[in-house]
Amino acid sequence: MEKKRENRIFAVIIAVCAAALSILYVAGMQEPDDVPDYKKRFTFISPLTWSNVASGVIQADRENGTNTRFLGTAQMDIYRQAKVFRQELLSRPDGIITSAPVDTADFRDALSEAASLGIPVVLVDSDLSDSDRSCYIGTDNPKSGYLAGEEMIKATGGFANIAIVTSDKNYPSQNERIQAFKEAIADFPEMKVAAILDCHSERLEVLSKLPAALREQPQIDALYLTEAIASITVGDLLKERFPGRRMTVVATDNLAATRAFVADGTYICTIAQNPWMEGYLAGKALVDILAGKEVADIIFTDTYCVTKDNLEETTALKAEEIEWVYY
């Protein structure tokens, strides 16, 4: 009798445990209450160094209830970018934000494929205006280059031998800045471009190529830095390796390190752009496009000159911590 009673108790315990496990299993299969119900899912494809642009996209996500996945490449590589772009189309995001640093058939085909799938693509920083992209948001690159030329003229009095340090002169954004810079100084015959150094937004290339050019061409006494990596690198290079050499420097972008070189007189100015705003407006543009709203074909962000005189009136760019998916 006692044995049967023990068996019944044991059976009840087993049944209770089984029911509890069943409840836990079903609960585990259900999504937690705090998982956001995102309205749209976007993809951002860029070099890993573009945290400022990505930070703007994050803010747009917060305001619009969207979610963006950040795919980063080690450096600007249009062929790898086109490959990553095509792979991402397989997951059918609602929209894509990226750039077009070089005009290639592969990248154009990827844009056309996205359009055929009904996936809008917003280009930032560099544009392909006659492609199947939805719109361009970014710096007015000719304005940026022309401003740099005007500042160089004022600082040198129209007499300078200039080296231009760029990412790649074949990139549309960089080429537009360089050509506009040349236009600005065209009426000053004593202002000559002595060298154009492609450093591919790589710090080590800047540290290698620029010192070599300065040693080979001692007449170089001015620098135009067309992009951010060169602009945060060259100041320390000049101080450490060429401390006695007078150099007039016009930089690009509004990062804290670049602003510090303006503050201490290493640079006469930096031509500020607003990559954060590029990302922010790109995220908002995708939402509007998907809602059937009209979005301008080209939207320029602010371009202005930061000097010692207005340094306190302007603000340095700040980037958030970005969770990149590395490719």
Two tokens, residue 93: 């995001």
Q: Which of 133, 58, 130 is nearest to 284 (CA)?
A: 58
Helix axes 141-156, 172-185, angle to 10 degrees: 40
Give, in order, the Cα–Cα distances in Å from 144 to each of 151, 164, 201, 307.
Answer: 11, 14, 18, 15
Tens-place pLDDT, residues 40-64: 999 999 988 899 999 999 999 999 9
Distance of CA 174 to the CA centre of its chain: 14
Examine the pLDDT at 9 and tell me if it is beyond 70.
Answer: no
Tell me the C-alpha distance between 53 and 273, whole Å.
11
Long-range contacts from 208-215, C-beta under 8 angstroms, 24+ separation? 209/165, 210/163, 210/165, 210/234, 210/237, 211/237, 211/241, 211/242, 213/163, 214/163, 214/242, 214/245
CA dihedral sign of residues 160, 163, 166, 171 = positive
pLDDT digits (tens, 9 = 90+) for 21-45: 454 444 454 445 555 567 899 999 9
Q: Going by C-beta distance under 8 Å and a sequence separation of 6 or more, which residues neighbour residue 167? A: 76, 101, 174, 198, 199, 200, 201, 226, 227, 229, 230
Angle, helices 228-241/256-263, rounded to nearest 10 degrees: 40
Q: Is the pTM of this model over 0.85?
A: no
- What pLDDT does 145 receive? 98
Least confident piece of the model among 74-78, 280-284, 285-289, 291-295: 74-78
- The per-residue pLDDT for 76 is 72
**Token pair 């290493």 in the structure block, residue:** 266
Q: What is the pLDDT of residues 201-259, one digit of tens each?
A: 899 999 999 999 999 999 999 999 999 999 999 999 999 999 989 999 999 999 999 99
Q: Rounded mean pLDDT of the chain?
A: 89
Residue 43's closest CA among 4, 87, 100? 87
Residue 139: pLDDT band (50, 70, 90) is: very high
> What is the percent of the chain with per-residue pLDDT over 70, rounded to a whole number?
89
Strands 304-306 and 269-272: antiparallel
Tokens 């705090």 correspond to 34
List, in order of start, the domains of the chain with CATH numbers: 41-139+275-302+318-326 (3.40.50.2300), 141-272 (3.40.50.2300)
